[in-house]
Amino acid sequence: MGALLVLTIFHDPIIHVYAGEGVPNVALFTFGDSYYDVGNKVFLSTNKNPPQTMWPYGKSRDDPNGKFSDGYIVPDFIAEFMSIPNGIPPALKSGANFSRGACFAVADASILGAPAESMTLSQQVNKFRSMISTWSDDYIEKSLFMIYIGTEDYLNFSKTNPTASAAAQQAFVTSVTNKLKTDISVLYSLGASKFAVTLLAPLGCLPIVRQEYKTGNDCYEPLNDLARQHNEKIGPMLNEFARKPNGGFQFTVFDYYNAVIRRTRRSINYRFYVTNSSCCGQGSHNAYGCGFVNVHSKLCEYQRSYFFFDGRHNSEKAQEELANLLYGANTNVMLPMTVRELIVFPAKENMREFWEPNKQSLRRRRRRSSRDYLDLAAYY
């Protein structure tokens, strides 16, 4: 069973992806920040009641368990598609069952610097190194490594350097992406070979950014520009790894930036009714203070109508859509292959296709006809 397609009265396909037959029982390892953190931040926080462990976080599952959403986040759904029972545990949780992988991502993580009560990507990689004897070399080589990080680097840079020149911005982006390349190289040297790297979101469109920079319904374009500059370097970087002879480096890239843009600009097509403000928080965009015990946050009546649950993080409904795209969307979203295809691609083999810039979707190349409603490319 590959994908179940449901046509609604608006003719928009809703995709439910299932792992199905032929997917090996490999592990899932995640690295990055709060987008992928399944609970590590709880173990590093000096706050005895961190907000992500308090209601209304976990509201949709009636389980505030350390994740920055009203329910599941992307790694939970990917683990489900990979038939990993109960998802993957936080790497900092002692005594957990790590047989099918672990989460090394930590909220507030960055690529550069020394984040308080968090870990840089390099420190996360070192934590993986310290646990590497948990898994066999062959198992690591066949398993999936997912990475999403960089948000903190650019949010902090924008705050501390509000008038940075174009040259300074480019230099900072280069330093961030060079360090990311080094960290991926270390993971590769430790035996990882299958990487799913997510491009940065349009950071200037986050509700907390709109609120702090007082942009109203507009995005803060300087931050979006930094994210675009960062994203432009990821595909070529990964191509460089993959084109090394007999290297066995395999990867795919998720165009998260444009997936978010589509949902904020054409929200009704994706069943979201509010995309510029968050469901939980306070302020002009309801973007600050969700879960804080000393903040009187507002809470929306129906979180599934919101793209953002808090000022920076997506609702469970949005997380599920994004996970489905990662696992089963076409090359308009995932390039050069889906996560499912990456998992089943034979280990040690060199890739046959690579990331390409400016990939055009079928929707842009030809006029829509009745059969387009069965073509996933037209909607992603």
Ramachandran assignment for 69, one of left (phi > 0), alpha (psi -120 to 50 degrees), beta (any other): beta
Q: Summarize the chain as % helix, strand, coil (round to 5).
A: 40, 15, 45
Q: At what angle do helices 166-189 and 221-242 cross, to 10 degrees?
A: 40
- 110, 313, 315, 361: which is the annotated catalytic residue? 313
Rounded to an integer, what distance in angstroms lies between the CA atom of residue 185 and that of residue 10? 45
> Residues 378, 269: contact at Cβ < 8 Å?
no
Q: Which of 233, 225, 168, 169 is nearest to 202 (CA)?
A: 225
CA distance 119 to 44: 9
Catalytic site includes residue 267: no
Indicate which residue of 37, 277, 310, 361 is catalytic: 310
Task: Indicate the helix (H) or strand (E) that contains 122.
Answer: helix 121-130
Question: Which one from 33, 34, 143, 297 is the annotated catalytic residue?
Answer: 34
Please, which residues have CB within 8 angstroms of residue 96's CB and are 6 or more apart in sequence?
89, 90, 102
Residue in this structure with the two tokens 């907390």, named with its chain if needed = 208
The residue assigned the tokens 């600050």 is: 288
251 DSSP β-pair partners = 195
The DSSP letter of residue 303 is: G
Active site annotation includes 11: no
Instruction: Please identify which residue in the block is written with the tokens 């299958």.
Output: 194
34 assigned to active site: yes
- What is d(CA 126, CA 369) in angstroms, rounded to the nearest whole number? 52
The 10 Å CB-count burial string (b at 16+, else e) for 113-136 is eebeebbbbbbbbebbeeeeeebe
Active site residues: 34, 310, 313
